[in-house]
Amino acid sequence: MSFSNEIVAMILGGGAGTRLAPLTSNRSKPAVPIAGKYRLVDIPISNCINSDIHRMFVLTQFNSASLNRHIKNTYRFSAFSDAFVDILAAEQTPDNPTWFQGTADAVRQSLRHLAPFPSEYVLILSGDQLYQMDFTEMLKNHKESGAQISIATIPVGDREAPEFGILKTDEHNMISSFIEKPSKDILGEWTSDTGPAMQQKGRNYLASMGIYIFNRKLLLDLLLKKHPDATDFGKEIIPSSINEYQVASFQYEGYWTDIGNIYSFFEANLELTSDIPEFNLFDNTKSIYTRPRMLPPAKISGTTLEKTVIAEGCIINASRIEHSVIGIRSRIGYGSTVVSCYLMGSDYYETIEDISRDQNKGVPPIGIGRRCYLRNCIIDKNCRIGDDVRLNGGAHLENADHELYTVKDGIIVVKKGAIIPDGFVI
C-alpha cells in the first residue's frame, strides 16, 4: 500500500465561529480569508499535500456555501489519481436527525462517507489553525512507538496553559494524564520535561494542538461502540482513552497558533509582515496552496511601504502603508495612510463605468478612498470606504457592534460589503 493510501484526513470545519464574528457572519470559519490571498482551510489542506496525504474530507455545517465554492475551484487533482478534497456538510438522515454536536460527533456522523476509502490510520485536524507541520514525521512516530492514538502537542508557558488541554507523559512519551484548561493555582503540578530549548523560553507545559492520529479500527470502535454518545474529542474521547490505550505525544516546536478570536486572527496576519516571520510563506518545501487567480501584478504609485505584504491585483496610490497585509484587488486612494491593518481586498474589479455610476449615486467605489487614515483595522471583502474617513482603532475604544462595523479588543472590523461614507470617523 502506498503512503498516500495509508491514511485519510478529516478536517473539522468548527462550529458557528461566533468568537470570530463578524468575519464568520456569512462564511464558515475555514473560509475566512488569511494572509491576503488564502483561506484558513488552505493551511491544513496544504500541510496534508506537503505530507503526501491526498485524500481529505472537510466537515462543515455553518455558512458553508463560500467554503464549498473555494474547495471546488481550488483542489482539482489528476483524473488518474485517487486524490480528493471533499466537503462533508452536516446532513440529517432517517437514523440521525441532528446536526453535528461537537468534534467527535462530526466525525461519527461522517464515518459512512469514510467507509469506501481503505486506510489504516485517520488523521483529524482543525480547520482554524495556522502552522506548517510534516505529518509524515507524526505518522512515523505513531507507528514506531506502537501507539493507537497520537496527539500533536506543543510546549506553552504559564500565560497560555489555562487555555488548553494540558497533558503529562511517561519516559516513552506515552500520555499518562490529561486535564482540560487547568486553573492557574494547580498549574505547578502539570509541568513537563519539554527539553532545554523550550524550558529556557519558559514553555514548561505540553498542550494538545487538537491534531490526532487514530488507528482506524480503534476510532470506529470508540465512536460507534464504546462512546456512542460522546460529542467531543478533547473533553471526552481523549481523556477516557489515556488509561486504556497507548496514547502517544508527538511534540512539535514550530510556529502554531489557534485562530479562535479576532485578536489572535489579527495578530497572526500582521506577524506575516515581520522580516523573518515565524509562519514562512516563502518556503519551497512547505508551500501553501490556494485558488489560482489570473490577476495582474500589484501597481503602486507614490507610496511609502514599511513591513507590508501586498497580494496580487492591487492598485495602490496611498501616501503610506506600514505593518499591514493588503489583500487581492485592493484599491487605496491618494493621500491615505494605512497602519497595522489587514485589508482583505475584493472579489472583483469595478469598471470605470461602475465607479462613475456609484459616484453619481453618492456611493464610494470598492476600496479605500482618498486622504483616509486607518489604524488597527480589519477591512473585510468588498467594502467601500469613502474619502477623508478616519478609523483609529486601539485600546481607547470599547467593544461595540454596529451595522457597519464591530469593535473587539480595540480592533475595528468593517463588515463585508459595508459602505462607509465620506468623512466618517471612529
Task: Say if CB 366 and CB 355 are below 8 A apart.
Answer: no
Residue closest to 210 by CA, chosen among 297, 102, 290 = 102
Question: 357: helix, coil or strand?
Answer: helix
pLDDT digits (tens, 9 = 90+) for 196-239: 888 888 898 999 999 999 999 999 999 988 888 888 888 888 88
Is-contact 161 208, C-beta < 8 A? no
The grid coordinates listed for 50 are 506537503
Answer for the pair 233, 276: CB distance below 8 angstroms, yes or no.
no
Ramachandran quadrant class, 189 (left: phi over 0; alpha: psi -120 to 50; beta: rest): alpha
Backbone angles phi, psi at 277, to 5 degrees: -65, 150
d(CA 223, CA 204) in angstroms, rounded, equals 32
Quote the pTM value.
0.92
Q: Is residue 203 within 8 Å of 156, Cβ to Cβ? A: yes
The CATH 3.90.550.10 domain(s) of the chain lie at: 3-271
**What distance in Å separates the CA atoms of residue 250 and residue 241, rounded to the nearest whole number?**
16
CATH of domain 3-271: 3.90.550.10
C-alpha cell at 25: 457572519
Domain 293-420 sits in CATH at 2.160.10.10
DSSP 399: P
Cell numbers found for residue 59: 466537515
Distance between alpha carbon 348 and the CA centroid of its chain, in Å? Answer: 24
On whether the CB atoms of residues 380 and 367 are closer than 8 A, the answer is no
- pLDDT value, residue 92: 54
Low-confidence ranges of the chain (pLDDT < 70): 1-4, 14-17, 61-64, 90-101
Q: List every span in the chain annotated with CATH 2.160.10.10.
A: 293-420
Q: Quote the pLDDT of residue 40.
A: 93
Q: CB of 61 within 8 A of CB of 13?
A: yes
In angstroms, what is the C-alpha Rg of the chain?
A: 23
Task: Dig out the grid coordinates for 103 from the structure.
Answer: 468534534
Please report, to the nearest 10 degrees, the dihedral formed by the alpha carbons of residues 295, 412, 163, 205 taken in order: 60
Q: Which SS3 state, helix, strand or coil, does residue 95 take?
A: coil
Q: Where are the alpha helices (DSSP H) in 87-174?
A: 103-114, 135-144
Residues 230-256: tens digit of each pLDDT: 888 888 888 889 989 999 999 998 999
